[in-house]
Amino acid sequence: MAATTERRFTVLNNNPQYRTVAQAFPHIGDKLTAYWGHSNFVAYMEGLLHGTRNGTRRGFPADILMALHYLAEQHKTAFPQYEVTDDFWAYVESKPTVPNH
């Protein structure tokens, strides 16, 4: 295992939310480890959390869904440079206000 991958695995393996997901869905745990700390993580999580299978995905149990959301927030905090900034409300809040005349 490469040093960088080993560090990612160690960080995630010590994370209870990661362990919850990886134990229930090992293939997802593998991808979370591979993508942690990269922009691919954000896209992968978007696909998991918002469904990209035209309604054919059954959804996750509540504990897994909560763990995935928590991991997404942890990644956002640790790697803010990879977050998508196309949020409408963030755009609205960033616009300067027009003074009343």
23-55: per-residue pLDDT in tens?
999 999 999 999 999 999 999 998 898 866 666
Q: What is the CA radius of gyration of the chain?
A: 17
CA distance 68 to 22: 10
Across the chain, how many H-helices and E-strands are there?
6, 0
pTM above 0.95, yes or no: no
Q: Is the pLDDT of residue 2 over 90?
A: no
Amino acid 47 reads G
Q: What is the DSSP letter of 32?
A: H
What are the two backbone dihedrals, phi and then psi, of residue 78, each rounded to the nearest 5 degrees?
Answer: -75, -30
- Residue 43, CA atoms < 13 Å, CB-side half-sphere: 5
Q: Could you read off the pLDDT of 64-84 as tens digits, one per residue?
A: 999 999 999 999 999 999 887
Residue 64 · residue 24 · CB < 8 Å: yes
pLDDT band at 92 (very low <50, low <70, confident <90, very high): low
Q: Where are the domains of the chain?
A: 3-94
